[in-house]
Structure 1
């Protein structure tokens, strides 16, 4: 207490200061950092160890699992994400099952496979 007195900081205090510094470095406003830090201060040290923070420079998101992302600046509003790589794998796995057809509506020639296969074969032999 008072000026010139020794200050004591807990591990949690130091951790929060480190997080504040990183958020400032990414361009998050001091006001938004205060809101995010107040949310984090309500948690215990064990909870902080499993939190990952994300920021786009405007808002701060808390992620505690792949299924849970929370916007700390919107009062804990949940947000969602879409794993594009998962959608790509799903499409890639089923696209080979599509029936081949020509874009102009004409029938495919039965010998030699689809039009793309025929063009590739023509390049190789041509």
Structure 2
């Protein structure tokens, strides 16, 4: 059990202490080799915001400050779109839940670093527990229960359930590969539209 930093709901895990968390095999892994696609298929900012439940301003700030940079394409300067992978968006949603429950940005940075180092398929079997000060990574029901019995874990996030939510939302949103040419106009880029409107006015 490693200390990291996050929150969410581990209710399904806590209610059934005998059932081990199983990696999810959803639509993303419908065909052999598709797991690698989760790191080469990207989603633009508006799609990432939609799936993670964050604002575009938050997304932009976190990318610029290094909290969570897009792993598919992270261009410098204007004129290019960031592309976020499935794992990026999964972590974004976890960040949002942690912020909503009052976990400090310092602990969230530690948690993000730990989660980003994991493979996509590893994430589904992890439950994050937090007492508001620290975040703990649990990979078995026994670890979750031990934290609860010790009075440390106040809330938890089962990444498997977050995975299903993100996957369901992204299945209805457009994706692209980084080698595909970008259109000249980016209608979904809210900040760029606002800047252009300011300069035009």
Post-superposition offset of 1:56: 1.6
Post-superposition offset of 1:3: 1.5
Q: 1:42-61 CA distances to partner (integer Å, 9 max, x unpaired)?
A: 10011101111111211111
Q: Which runs of 5+ in 2 are unaligned?
A: 1-74, 151-201
> Which residue is equivalent to 1:76?
none
Q: Which runs of 5+ in 1 are unaligned?
A: 70-79, 85-126
2:123 counterpart (48, 72, 87): 48
> Which residue is equivalent to 1:15?
90
> Which residue is equivalent to 1:25?
100
Count of residues paired in the alignment: 75
Structure 1 segments, 4+ long, off by >3 Å, are 80-84
Which structure has more strand as a fraction of its residues?
Answer: 1
Distance 1:20 1:14 in 2: 10
Distance 1:59 1:39 in 2: 13
> Which residue is equivalent to 2:187?
none
Over aligned residues, Cα RMSD in angstroms?
A: 2.3
Q: Give the structure with higher Rg (CA).
A: 1
The 3-state SS of whatever aligns with 2:139 is strand
> Which residue is equivalent to 2:140?
65
Q: TM-score, normalised by structure 1?
A: 0.53
Q: TM-score, normalised by structure 2?
A: 0.34
The 3-state SS of whatever aligns with 1:39 is helix
The 3-state SS of whatever aligns with 1:46 is helix
